[in-house]
Amino acid sequence: MVSCFCNDKKIQSFNSFKARDNAQCPECKSLERHRLVIFYFKENNKKFEKTLHIAPEKQLVKLFTYYLF
């Protein structure tokens, strides 16, 4: 079992994406880089209002919107 930080769900395994095994969440389609950013903010309790992310991915827009508004 693995956990996806983007949607807080436990799943059996991540799907392959391009040449990488266990890279993409089958539920929300997040990749390693999306989960890493979300993990960082959740673990370090950083304030989102001081974050500038140009053209954030769909998975991160949901998270930023939730914490900002």
- Angle, CA 67 vertex, CA 58 and CA 50 arms, to 5°: 95
pTM of the model: 0.70
pLDDT value, residue 43: 78
Model pLDDT for residues 15-40, shown as the tens digit of each residue:
999 999 999 999 989 999 888 888 88
Task: Break the chain into its structural domains and give their ranges.
Answer: 2-68
**In whole angstroms, what is the distance from residue 44 CA to residue 34 CA?**
16
**Phi/psi-derived region of residue 45, left when phi > 0, alpha when psi is between -120 and 50, beta in every other case:** left
